[in-house]
């Protein structure tokens, strides 16, 4: 008996003709009974598992749990792999491959007999890349975030994975740590399956998709090794089958209101600056008009409620035990679009109407926040005509309004060669300017914006300097770091024209980033500027350099914005 015609998979499995035979027959070699081809919704389980992505190393096991739920609800689960991006392993940077992974996901979904999708994600880029790809197909889609690791432990205290590594240089130089101490920290920082357990980019992405309405309620904070994560995975498997029946596609959930909710929530959790670039790219795929300015307008006056590193003290395990994201969403209810629909068919307001906060120090209430205005600030000025960003909650107060001379590094290689040179002219008033780390320039816009301070200043006790670049910063890092300068230096942005000793003014309250050099002088420098040689002349990297958009647009590939839906064209054999 043919499958119900309304299912997309009917076109593969439902017909009693030559191709129906082909599509069913080969799949039967895996031992599926006949009824699996008779109208069961086919659920693609898009798995970013890889042993080279340590944060996603447990997702194969999770896929089996999701399959249990899909089968229970009468679906036909089929797991498939897509490009996985291991943040700590891949070189030169996973961001170079985010768009590639999104293409893989998009084409894998569209080309196959899939009616609904579960995205199994974890490490930083695996959530936005798969979601971007899924948006361009727009099927019913539900995300199961893999969950954070248990809190790191070191010398009897908690240790945030992804945070300590930024302090290794300082710990060795200033705090007299031994190599054995560092090894102990290395081992204790990642002591269970899961992704970084600070409020870094992976945790931020998990909270982002929960706030967008793309997970079952409470998904983001559950640790990877907590049995309740598997319960969530199984329930997600059941639910996606229902979503197919209800035709609850991504575009019905990812409305402008959902994006605005995500921005508000991100401010309250002290989320990563990478949130901006990924959310912009996701909005571009689903066709919602979101701009860099929206993040400041909607998010910058939101109080910081979540006391997690790097902005605060605790870690994701503590966040989960305190009640997790539902507590935050409930606290923000007067600032959210509570009627935004979510994957379980209920609104975000309904889903989060009665959570209990079990630790007011981990999740503050709105009357006693950690900080009044916590969102990411969008800067404008002659140094960043299309914008730049800074995360005030991770910055040093006294540097938020500062004027100082630039110490310029033309590339990362230049930085490494000179930063610890005793003769480098740099002091606590200096502003480090790093060029050549944007989307086109590096290429791939790596997380290097929070470059280490020079040894001689660290030894003097200097903890922070303003650093300005066209690159990004790890969500686990902190400091007074101006990022995502657009246009970037390698395409001729004013950043390319900064010289040693130029005076730069940063005024975060006024949202201003200004290079104190006259228009005439800038014009002269522009005429003398020579674009750097492209780093690739073939393959994906060449394609990326030729097509990547600037940071203020989300650094997506220009021809990947928007979607092509789920229809397969030219299927005539
Ligand atoms: Fe994967 Fe931090 S390295 S989440």
Q: Any alpha helices (H) in 112-199, and if so which ranges?
A: 126-135, 168-173, 179-189
Q: Which of 85, 88, 224 to mutate to test the pocket of ligand 1 (most atoms within 8 A of CB)?
A: 88
Which ligand 1 atom sits nearest the alpha carbon of residue 53?
Answer: 1
Residue at 508 is within a domain: yes
| pLDDT higher than threshold 60 for residue 52 | yes
356: in domain: no
Checking if the pLDDT of 450 tops 80, the result is yes
User: How many domains does one find in the chain?
Assistant: 2
pTM beyond 0.75: yes
Report the nearest atom of ligand 1 relative to the CA of 88: 3
Are residues 467 and 402 in contact, defined by beta-carbon separation less than 8 angstroms? no
| Inter-CA distances, 59 with 45, 47, 51, 450, Å | 11, 7, 10, 31
* Nearest atom, ligand 1, residue 195 CA: 4
Whether ligand 1 lies within 6 angstroms of the CB of 447 is answered as no
Residue 126 Cα, ligand 1 centroid: separation in angstroms?
10
Does residue 482 surpass a pLDDT of 70? yes
Which of 49, 58, 123, when mutated, tests ligand 1's pocket best, judged by the most ligand atoms within 8 Å of its CB? 123
Residue 53 CA to ligand 1 centre (angstroms): 8
Q: Is pLDDT of 345 > 90?
A: yes
pLDDT at 2: 45
In angstroms, rounded to a whole number, what is the distance separating the alpha carbons of residues 258 and 253?
7
Q: How far, in Å, CA of 85 to CA of 127, rounded?
A: 10
pLDDT at res. 570: 80
Verify whether ligand 1 is closer than 6 Å to residue 196 (CB atom). Answer: yes
Helix, strand, coil percentages for the chain (3-state, nearest 5): 40, 15, 45
Mean pLDDT of 44-69: 98
Q: What is the mean pLDDT of residues 195-222?
A: 97
Average of per-residue pLDDT across 226-252: 98
Atom of ligand 1 nearest to the CA of 122: 4
pLDDT, position 164? 74
- Residue 57: which pLDDT band, with cuts at 50, 70 and 90? very high
pLDDT in tens, 259-291: 999 999 999 999 999 999 999 999 999 999 999
87 lines ligand 1 (CB under 6 A): yes
Q: What is the pLDDT of residues 119-151, one digit of tens each?
A: 999 999 999 999 999 999 999 999 999 999 999
Which of 195, 199, 275 to mutate to test ligand 1, by most ligand atoms within 8 A of the CB atom?
A: 195
Q: Is 202 in the pocket of ligand 1 (CB under 6 A)?
A: yes
Which residues share a beta bridge with 307?
Answer: none
Count how many residues are written for the chain: 573
Asked if pLDDT for residue 3 goes beyond 60, the answer is no
**What are the φ and ψ backbone dihedral angles of 141, each rounded to 5 degrees?**
-145, 135
C-alpha of residue 145 to centroid of ligand 1, in Å: 13
SS (H, E, C) 512-531: EEEECCCHHHHHHHHHHCCC
For 493, the token pair is 């942005």
- As beta bridge partners, residue 308 has 314
Check residues 355 and 184 and name the one with the higher pLDDT.
355
CA atoms of 340 and 384, how far apart (whole Å): 34
- C-alpha to C-alpha distances, 467 to 202, 430, 473, 482, nearest whole angstrom: 23, 9, 11, 6
Cβ atoms of residues 19 and 573 within 8 Å: yes
- Cα 185 to ligand 1 centre (Å): 16
- Last residue within a domain, chosen from 163, 191, 219: 191
The answer to whether 84 and 96 are in contact (CB under 8 A) is no
Ligand 1 centre and the CA of 376: distance in Å? 21
User: What's 403's domain CATH number?
Assistant: 3.50.30.80
The answer to whether residue 423 sits within a structural domain is: yes
List the domain range (segments joined by +) for residue 404: 377-532
Residue 452: inside a domain, yes or no?
yes
Q: How far is the CA of 373 from the centre of ligand 1 (A)?
A: 27
The average confidence (pLDDT) of the chain is 95
* pLDDT-derived band at 27, boundaries 50, 70, 90: very high
What integer pLDDT is reported at residue 5 of this predicted model?
A: 52
Query: How confident is residue 473, by pLDDT bands cut at 50, 70 and 90?
Result: very high
Choice between 330 and 372, residue whose per-residue pLDDT is larger: 330
400, 378 Cβ separation under 8 angstroms: no
Is the C-beta atom of 189 inside 6 A of ligand 1?
Answer: no
Residue 566 has pLDDT above 50, yes or no: yes
Is residue 573's pLDDT more than 80?
A: no
Examine residue 407 and state whether it is found in any structural domain, yes or no: yes
Question: What mean pLDDT is predicted for residues 538-544?
Answer: 98
The pLDDT of residue 165 is 73
With respect to residue 524, please indicate whether it lies within any of the assigned structural domains.
yes
Q: Residue 46 and residue 26: Cα distance in Å, rounded?
A: 20
| Residue owning the nearest CA to atom 2 of ligand 1 | 196
In a domain, 267, yes or no: no
Of 51, 55, 197, the one to substitute when testing ligand 1's pocket (max ligand atoms within 8 A of C-beta) is: 55
Scan for tokens 């590339």, then name that residue. 411
Residue nearest to atom 1 of ligand 1 (CA): 123
**Ligand 1 contact via 124 beta carbon (within 6 Å):** yes
- Dist. CA 407–CA 384, nearest whole Å: 17
Measured in Å, residue 523 CA sits from the centre of ligand 1 at 42
With CA atoms as reference, report the closest residue to 225 among 205, 201, 246, 195: 195
Mean pLDDT of 516-539: 96
pLDDT band for 478, please (50, 70, 90 cuts): confident
Dist. CA 186–CA 217, nearest whole Å: 33
pLDDT at 407: 98
User: pLDDT band for position 571 (50/70/90)?
Assistant: confident
From ligand 1's centre to the CA of 191, what distance in Å? 13
Q: Is residue 87 part of a domain?
A: no
- Residue whose structure tokens are 């009693």: 16
Q: How confident is the model over 318-343, as pLDDT tens digits?
A: 999 999 999 999 999 999 999 999 99
Domain boundary among 191, 221, 254: 191
- For 498, the 3-state DSSP assignment is coil
Q: How many CB atoms are closer than 10 A to CB 414?
A: 14
Smallest CA-to-CA distance from 506 within 493, 517, 515 is with 515
């Amino acid at each position: 008996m043919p499958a119900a015609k309304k299912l997309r998979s009917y076109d593969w499995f439902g017909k009693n003709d030559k191709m129906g035979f082909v599509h069913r027959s080969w799949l039967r070699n895996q031992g599926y009974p006949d009824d699996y081809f008779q109208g069961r919704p086919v659920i693609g389980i898009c798995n970013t598992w890889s042993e080279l992505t340590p944060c996603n190393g447990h997702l194969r096991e999770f896929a089996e749990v999701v399959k249990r739920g899909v089968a229970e609800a009468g679906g036909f689960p089929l797991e498939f792999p897509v490009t996985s991006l291991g943040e700590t392993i891949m070189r030169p940077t996973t961001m170079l491959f985010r768009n590639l992974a999104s293409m893989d996901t998009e084409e894998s979904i569209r080309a196959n007999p899939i009616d609904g999708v579960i995205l199994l994600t974890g490490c930083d880029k695996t959530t936005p890349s798969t979601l971007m790809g899924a948006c361009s197909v727009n099927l019913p889609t539900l995300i199961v975030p893999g969950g954070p690791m248990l809190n790191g432990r070191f010398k009897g205290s908690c240790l945030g994975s992804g945070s300590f590594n930024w302090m290794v240089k300082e710990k060795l130089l200033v705090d007299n740590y031994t190599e054995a101490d560092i090894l102990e920290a290395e081992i204790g920082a990642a002591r269970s399956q899961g992704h970084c357990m600070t409020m870094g980019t992976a945790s931020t992405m998990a909270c982002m998709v929960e706030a967008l309405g793309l997970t079952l309620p409470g998904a983001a904070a559950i640790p990877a090794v907590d049995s309740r994560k598997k319960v969530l995975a199984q329930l997600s498997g059941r639910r996606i089958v229902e979503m197919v029946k209800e035709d609850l596609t991504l575009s019905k959930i990812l409305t402008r209101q959902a994006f605005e909710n995500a921005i508000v929530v991100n401010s309250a959790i002290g989320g990563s600056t990478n949130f901006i670039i990924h959310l912009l790219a996701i909005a571009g795929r689903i066709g919602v008009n979101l701009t860099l300015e929206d993040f400041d307008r909607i998010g910058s006056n939101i109080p910081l409620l979540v006391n997690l590193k790097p902005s605060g003290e605790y870690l994701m395990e503590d966040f989960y035990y305190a009640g997790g994201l539902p507590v935050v969403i409930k606290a923000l209810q007067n600032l959210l679009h509570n009627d935004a629909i979510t994957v379980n068919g209920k609104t975000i307001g309904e889903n989060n109407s009665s959570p209990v906060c079990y630790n007011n120090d981990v999740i503050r209430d709105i009357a006693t926040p950690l900080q009044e205005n916590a969102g990411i600030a969008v800067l404008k000025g002659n140094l960043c005509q299309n914008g730049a960003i800074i995360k005030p909650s991770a910055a040093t107060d006294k540097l938020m309004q500062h004027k100082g001379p630039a110490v310029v590094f033309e590339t990362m290689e230049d930085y490494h060669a000179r930063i610890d040179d005793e003769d480098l002219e740099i002091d606590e008033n200096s502003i480090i300017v790093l060029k050549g780390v944007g989307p086109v320039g590096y290429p791939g816009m790596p997380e290097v914006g929070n470059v280490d301070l020079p040894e001689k200043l660290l030894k003097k006790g200097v903890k922070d300097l303003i650093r300005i670049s066209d690159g990004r910063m790890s969500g686990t890092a902190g400091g007074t770091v101006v990022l995502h300068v657009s246009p970037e230096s390698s395409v001729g942005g004013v950043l390319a024209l900064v010289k040693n000793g130029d005076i730069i003014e940063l005024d975060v309250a006024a949202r201003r980033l200004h290079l104190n050099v006259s228009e005439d002088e800038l014009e002269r420098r522009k005429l003398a500027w020579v674009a750097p040689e492209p780093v690739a002349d073939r393959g994906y990297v060449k394609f990326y350099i030729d097509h990547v958009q600037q940071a203020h647009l989300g650094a997506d590939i220009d021809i990947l914005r928007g979607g092509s839906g789920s229809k397969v064209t030219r299927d005539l054999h």
